[in-house]
Chains A and B, each alone.
Chain A
Amino acid sequence: MALLDKFAAADNLKAQLSAVGHDPTQVVIDKIITATEGLVEGRHTILAGTNNYLGLTFDTACIEAGKQAIETQGTGTTGSRMANGSFAAHKALEQDLANFFGVPYGMVFSTGYAANLGTLTALLKPGDAVLLDADAHASLYDGCQMSGADIFRFRHNDTASLEKRLQRLGERAADCLIVTEGLYSVMGDCAPLPEIVELKKRYGAWLLVDEAHSLGVYGDSGCGVAEAQGVMQDVDFFVGTFSKSLGAMGGFCTSRHPQLELIRYVSRPFIFTASSSPSIVASTHEALRQLQARPELRKNLWRNAHQLYRGLHDSGFEVGPEISPVVAVRLGKKEVALPFWNYLLENGIYTNLMAPPASPDQHSYVRCSVSAAHTAQQVERIIQVFCEAKEKL
């Protein structure tokens, strides 16, 4: 096969996606107006698929923090922390993140993807065993694969399936790593962490929880699903991202284990990546303060989540298994879902299309993510356009 022939499949996919109207992977938002509204092809569009859970992207304190950091620290770090040194702001953010999670150690990465790659490739080596939830994010799969460890999947959120694999691992179970998410981003369902923790303890395994979509969303303090389910002290490693509820870009790992500090010396995705720019670190840090100081953001978020989930459910849509700020609507075949998603976009609602093999089963979904910044009228409009789409298509 010639070098470039391998793109034939992608070319075919591109043609399929474009044939119905807009390609869901190539939408251009010409202008961002607010955290929940943009202009797409001249249309005012409600942003209902951007994971902006707390709506902090236009928060005045976060913007001011970013501006000040640019003015006082410059536009970028021009290299990695190992080569160029850490800025004091990187260290301060790490400490505050650790404090927020109630653990001694914290580490920030340039993206959420890099956080998962950087943590997993450092924790695991060839010969180690990792038990991975079947619906885990690609960054968790990629981190496990890059590590060279033996990867065994268990059925999504199925603790019986997890236990069977722990049993089959025999003596290896006592040193394996269980990898799960807090809130799963496609269906909007949470991991049963107390049951997973019980198995972890019984078999002597380790546990890493990705709170990418649950940070700022779950728990009394906003730490995530482990806090909401009362098992924070039993999680060995928390990973997550700054690009959702914190409205910026970057990732992190926090832990009670002092070896997290040593990951800095061995993690290639950390060592060989330019560190986050001062403005990103500053706005992230301010967003973390806002998250803690303004619990009303979570209250608004959950009010909107209930409104959207209930509204779609009561309109006859097949929604995910539980109410959460991620609301997935099952639409069956891609041939149905693609025009549906196009109708939404052409009528001013931006959502996400999830089709096999990127969806967790054989069905296609349109996924919404709710924001604290959505108004009740915007949520009502989203439900209305979904209903129109169902009627017309």
Chain B
Amino acid sequence: MNTRKNEIERRICELLASYLESSNHPELEAHGEITGDTNLASDFTLDSFQIMEFMMEIEESFDILIDVNSLSNSHTVSDLAEIVISSLDDTAG
């Protein structure tokens, strides 16, 4: 995996941990380390509302726009990193 994607994944992992902590998510401690393979829906049982909320955190952090349509099958941290990269590249033009 390239360095850029590694770095973006690392930032998303931090954001996710922070989001789960701020929302007092019960499964945060039980799950352990968040990695690129972490699945938002199955590992943390985030519902559709929470996933949308978390997407806004990512948008703010990376100063990008995430199309709601791109989220339907993108539930791992690694998938999200791909979306962020795509959006950053779109913005760069």
Which residue numbers of A lie inside 8 Å of B, CB to CB?
132, 134, 141, 144-145, 148, 150-153, 155, 161, 164-165, 168-170, 356-357, 359-362
- Cβ distance B46 to chain A, nearest Cβ, rounded Å: 10
A168–B92 alpha-carbon span in the complex (Å):
11
Interface residue B3 (Cβ < 8 Å from any Cβ of A): no
Known: A168-B65, A357-B47. 15 other contacts (CB 8 A): A150-B69, A151-B68, A152-B65, A153-B55, A153-B56, A161-B56, A164-B60, A168-B63, A168-B64, A168-B91, A356-B49, A357-B49, A357-B50, A359-B49, A362-B50
Q: Which of chain B's residues have a CB closer than 8 A to the CB of A134?
A: 52, 56
Q: Name B's interface SS.
A: helix
A169–B87 alpha-carbon span in the complex (Å):
11
16 A-B pairs within 8 Å (CB atoms) are namely A141-B68, A150-B65, A152-B66, A153-B52, A153-B55, A153-B56, A153-B68, A161-B56, A164-B60, A168-B63, A168-B64, A168-B65, A168-B91, A357-B47, A357-B50, A362-B50
A196–B69 alpha-carbon span in the complex (Å):
24
A170–B91 alpha-carbon span in the complex (Å):
9
A152–B83 alpha-carbon span in the complex (Å):
14
> Most chain-B Cβ atoms within 10 A of its Cβ — which of A170, A360, A362?
A362
Interface residue B48 (Cβ < 8 Å from any Cβ of A): yes
Q: Which of chain A's residues have a CB closer than 8 A to the CB of B52?
A: 134, 153
A141–B68 alpha-carbon span in the complex (Å):
10
Chain B residue, CB-CB nearest to A155: B56
A145–B48 alpha-carbon span in the complex (Å):
15
Chain A residue, CB-CB nearest to B69: A151
Flag B53-74 by CB within 8 Å of A: 1 or 0 each: 0011000100111111100000
Interface residue B23 (Cβ < 8 Å from any Cβ of A): yes
Quick check: B67 and A151 within 8 Å, CB to CB? Answer: yes
CB proximity to A under 8 Å, residues B25-62: 47-50, 52, 55-56, 60
Q: Which of chain A's residues have a CB closer than 8 A to the CB of B23?
A: 362
Q: Which of chain B's residues have a CB closer than 8 A to the CB of A169?
A: 65
Quick check: B65 and A165 within 8 Å, CB to CB? Answer: yes
- Cβ distance B8 to chain A, nearest Cβ, rounded Å: 17
Q: Which of chain B's residues have a CB closer than 8 A to the CB of A359?
A: 49
Quick check: A145 and B69 within 8 Å, CB to CB? Answer: yes
A151–B66 alpha-carbon span in the complex (Å):
8
Q: Which of chain B's residues have a CB closer than 8 A to the CB of A141?
A: 68
Q: Which of chain A's residues have a CB closer than 8 A to the CB of B69?
A: 145, 148, 150-151
